Amino acid sequence: MEEQKSIKMSALGFYLPEKVVTNDDLAKIVETSDEWIYSHTGIKQRRYANEEEKASDLAIKAIKNMDVDLSEIDAIIVATATPDYYGFPSTACIISEKMQLKNVNIAFDIVAGCTGFIYALENARALICASSAKKVLVVGTEILSKVVDFEDRNTCVLFADGAGCALVEKSNNKFNSILGVEKAGSEKLYIDNKSHIKMDGRAVYNFAVKRIVETILKLVEKNSLNLKDIDHIVSHQANIRILQAAAKRLKIRSDKFFSNVDQVANTSAASIPVALASLNNMNKLKEGDKIILVGFGAGLTYGGAYLEWKK
Domain boundaries, the chain: 6-171, 175-308
Catalytic site residue 114?
Answer: yes
Catalytic site residue 23?
Answer: no
Catalytic site residue 193?
Answer: no
Nearest to 231 by CA among 287, 295, 186, 191: 287
Asked whether residue 1 carries a pLDDT value surpassing 60, the answer given is no
Q: How does pLDDT run across 23-34, given as a tens digit for each residue?
A: 999 999 999 999
23, 156, 232, 236: the catalytic one is 236
Identify which has the larger pLDDT, 36 or 190: 36
Strand segments, DSSP code E, in the chain are: 6-15, 19-22, 45-48, 75-79, 106-110, 135-143, 161-171, 175-181, 189-191, 197-199, 232-235, 257-258, 290-297, 301-308
Instruction: Check if the beta carbon of residue 239 is closer than 8 Å to that of residue 261.
Output: yes
Q: Write out the CATH class of domain 175-308.
A: alpha beta
State pTM to two decimals: 0.95
State which H helix or E strand residue 156 sits in: helix 153-156
Same fold for the domain at 6-171 and the one at 175-308? yes
114, 165, 232, 239: the catalytic one is 114
Nearest to 270 by CA among 238, 302, 292, 246: 238
188 contact partners, CB below 8 Å, separation of at least 6:
199, 200, 203, 204, 207, 300
Q: Mean pLDDT across the chain, nearest whole number?
A: 95
The superfamily in CATH containing domain 6-171 is Thiolase/Chalcone synthase (3.40.47.10)
| Least confident segment among 191-200, 221-230, 275-284 | 191-200
Asked whether residue 245 carries a pLDDT value surpassing 60, the answer given is yes
123, 239, 266, 280: the catalytic one is 266
Instruction: Check if the beta carbon of residue 303 is closer than 8 Å to that of residue 295.
Output: yes
Q: How does pLDDT run across 136-176, given as a tens digit for each residue?
A: 999 999 999 999 999 999 899 999 999 999 999 999 889 99
Rounded to an integer, what distance in angstroms lies between the CA atom of residue 271 and that of residue 38? 18
Rounded to an integer, what distance in angstroms lies between the CA atom of residue 311 and that of residue 167? 10
119 contact partners, CB below 8 Å, separation of at least 6:
79, 110, 112, 179, 301, 303
